[in-house]
Amino acid sequence: MSILHVYAYLVAGWLLLGGAFGIARSRNLIHAVVCLSIAQSGTYVLLIAIGYQSGASPPVFGGSTPPDVAAHSAVVDPVVQAMTLTDVVVAATVTALLLALAVQVAKRHGTLDPDELTSLRG
Amino acid sequence: MTRRVRLIVFAAAAAAVGVLLVVTVVGMPPFGNAFHPYRDVAVAAAIAHQTANVVSGVNYDLRAFDTLGEETILLGSVVGAAVLLRPGREERERTEVPEDEPPLQAVRLVGYLLLPVTLVLGLDVVAHGHLTPGGGFQGGVVLGTGLHLLYLAGGFRALERLRAVPPFEVGEAVGTAAFVAVGIAGLAVTGSFLANVLPLGTFGSMPSSGIVPLLNVAVGMEVASGVILLLAHFLDQALRVERR
Comparing CB atoms, the residue among B6, B7, B59 nearest residue A82 is B59
| pLDDT surpassing 80 at residue A68 | no
pLDDT at residue A121, as a whole number: 55
> In this complex, do B7 and A17 lie within 8 Å of one another by their Cβ atoms?
no
pLDDT at residue B65, as a whole number: 94
CB < 8 Å to A1, chain B: 30
Q: Is B85:A107 a contact under the CB 8 Å cutoff?
A: no
> In this complex, do B31 and A64 lie within 8 Å of one another by their Cβ atoms?
no
- The helix/strand count (H/E) of chain B reads as 9, 2
pLDDT at residue A119, as a whole number: 66
Q: Above pLDDT 90, what percent of chain B?
A: 62
Q: Is B6:A21 a contact under the CB 8 Å cutoff?
A: no
Residue A70 falls within a domain, yes or no?
no
Residue A121 falls within a domain, yes or no?
no
Residue A90 falls within a domain, yes or no?
yes
Residue A68 falls within a domain, yes or no?
no
CB < 8 Å to A81, chain B: 55, 58
To the nearest whole Å, the CA of A94 is away from the closest chain B CA by 7
User: For position A50, which CATH number holds?
Assistant: 1.10.287.3510
CA distance linking residue A45 with residue A37, whole number of Å:
13
Q: What is the pLDDT of residues B80-132, one digit of tens each?
A: 999 999 888 888 888 777 777 788 899 999 999 999 999 999 999 999 999 99
pLDDT at residue A35, as a whole number: 96
pLDDT at residue A120, as a whole number: 57
To the nearest whole Å, the CA of B56 is away from the closest chain A CA by 8
Residue A66 falls within a domain, yes or no?
no
Residue A1 pLDDT grade (very low, low, confident, very high; cuts 50, 70, 90): low
CA distance linking residue B173 with residue A52, whole number of Å:
37
CB < 8 Å to A9, chain B: 21, 25, 28, 31
Comparing CB atoms, the residue among B54, B57, B70 nearest residue A89 is B70
> In this complex, do B43 and A69 lie within 8 Å of one another by their Cβ atoms?
yes
> In this complex, do B38 and A104 lie within 8 Å of one another by their Cβ atoms?
no
Of A88, A67, A7, nearest in space to B44 by CA: A67
CB < 8 Å to B135, chain A: 85
Residue A11 falls within a domain, yes or no?
yes
Q: What residues make up the domain containing A80?
A: 3-55+76-116
Q: Is B243:B87 a contact under the CB 8 Å cutoff?
A: no
CA distance linking residue B6 with residue B167, whole number of Å:
47
Q: What is the mean pLDDT of chain B?
A: 91
| pLDDT surpassing 70 at residue B215 | yes
Residue A84 falls within a domain, yes or no?
yes
> In this complex, do B17 and A78 lie within 8 Å of one another by their Cβ atoms?
no
Comparing CB atoms, the residue among A21, A60, A96 nearest residue B77 is A96
> Strand, coil or helix: what is A53?
strand
Query: How many domains does the structure of chain A reveal?
Result: 1
DSSP string, A60-112: B--SSSPPPTTTT--B--HHHHHHHHHHHHHHHHHHHHHHHHHHHHHHHHS--
Residues B191-195: contacts with CB within 8 Å, 24+ apart? B193/B65, B194/B64, B194/B65, B194/B68
To the nearest whole Å, the CA of B1 is away from the closest chain A CA by 9
Q: Which residues pair with B93 in a beta bridge?
A: B241
Residue A105 falls within a domain, yes or no?
yes
Q: Model ipTM?
A: 0.88
> In this complex, do A59 and B133 lie within 8 Å of one another by their Cβ atoms?
no
> In this complex, do B203 and A65 lie within 8 Å of one another by their Cβ atoms?
yes
Q: What is the pLDDT of residues B129-185, one digit of tens each?
A: 999 998 899 999 999 999 999 999 988 888 888 888 899 999 999 999 999 999 999
Q: What is the pLDDT of residues B198-211, one digit of tens each?
A: 888 888 888 888 89
Q: What is the pLDDT of residues A6-64, one digit of tens each?
A: 889 999 999 999 999 999 999 999 999 999 999 999 999 999 999 999 888 888 888 77
> In this complex, do A115 and B3 lie within 8 Å of one another by their Cβ atoms?
yes
| pLDDT surpassing 90 at residue B71 | yes
CA distance linking residue B91 with residue B102, whole number of Å:
28
> Strand, coil or helix: what is B92?
strand
CA distance linking residue B6 with residue B3, whole number of Å:
5
Best B36, B47, B49, B60 member to test A by mutation, with max A CBs in 10 Å, is: B36
pLDDT at residue A101, as a whole number: 93
DSSP for residue A59: S
